[in-house]
A = this chain, B = another copy of it.
Amino acid sequence: MRRASYRKMTITMIIKLKNSPVITCFSCVGGKEERKGPLGDKLDFYDETDRFDKNTWEKAESEMQRRVFNHLLSKRDLKATDVDILIAGDLINQCTSSSYGLLSFDIPYFGIYGACSTAALGLALGGILCDGGYVKRAAVVTSSHFCSAERQFRFPLEYGSQRTPTSQHTATAAGAFFVESSGSGAYIDEVLFGITVDAGIADANNMGAAMAPAAVDTLVKYFRESGTGPESFDLIVTGDLGYEGHRIVTEMMLQLGYDMKNVYNDCGLMLYDRQKQDMHAGASGCGCSAFAMAASILPDIISGKYKNVLFLGSGALLSQASVLQGENIPGVVHLVKLSHREG
């Protein structure tokens, strides 16, 4: 076990983007349970069968990426050649949901791996590429699918495995975003790439606890370097810590002197109705934060409901083999500071 390192901060970690890169447009797609949840009517489209007309879960997840990116293009009436770079990633082995899903688009493509932090990592890199003038328009795409994730990380659905109270439900959802060097939308002001933190958790059914210390590490480093605190923001939102991780972060932050209770939410709490949907500790997966951002948080930033938001994408860096070999589950949390601007 390696402890979170926020006590010995010596290096500058905040990357400031001075040229106002902006998230201009976004789209989200989901499955049956996501449609039933509180954000269900914000989905651009959904599939009641979760199959998206494909005969394997892996192909269904790829198809979600293809369709959500296609929808993003159509929302802005753009062609593939209007996009300078595609940045994508997912949870599936060798990120094939992204590579196969986006194969039909003739756009320079590179893959990223941040587990469930992929949406934040992609927006961070897209923001940097636009800010530096390296590209004019980047697209960020990510996805997760409950059925492909269960088969890969736990058991095929047919086994009917039971779930523990701390387990989370991988969201069947995909999100796509344009980040541009100019335009209007939600502005990316700052980025902080997190340090990998091993909190000593080896239970693959308790990802919230595994990732929470990484979220605290990133958040405290950001607060200390920027001289801000929870009161400086309208919303601080983590990616997919769920009820367990949300509670741990709230408690750890309070012990460190930061009272988060009025501003802190987690995308994993936003997707499902806790009373009506039996989702245990909440939602998880790359699609979880992508969906919540596209369906709710980004529109609320653009409308001015939120002026300053910290989005912390949270990733658990495990594989089926690492769990079977008894390794702990390290977490990594990347921060993106977003803001509303008038006019």
Contacts and interface: CB of A to CB of B under 8 A. Distances in A.
Contact of A2 (B96, B104, B128): B104
Interface in A287-331: 317-322, 325, 327, 330
A5 B103 CA distance: 12
Tell me the dominant secondary structure on chain A's binding face: mixed
A195 B109 contact: yes
Given A5-B106, A96-B317, A99-B317, A114 B115 contact: no
Interface in A40-78: 56, 58-59
**Identical chains in the assembly:** 2
A134 interface: yes
Contact of A110 (B59, B109, B334): B334
A91 B115 CA distance: 15
B94 A115 contact: yes
A169 to B, nearest CB: 19
A237 interface: no
Interface stretch (A9-17, A179-187, A259-267): A9-17
By size class, the interface of chain A is 35 or more
Nearest to A15: B134
A100 B331 CA distance: 11
Contacts of A12: 84
Given A94-B115, A109-B195, A110-B125, 13 more contacts: A2-B103, A12-B84, A58-B321, A58-B322, A93-B93, A93-B94, A94-B317, A99-B332, A102-B196, A103-B198, A106-B195, A111-B113, A128-B132
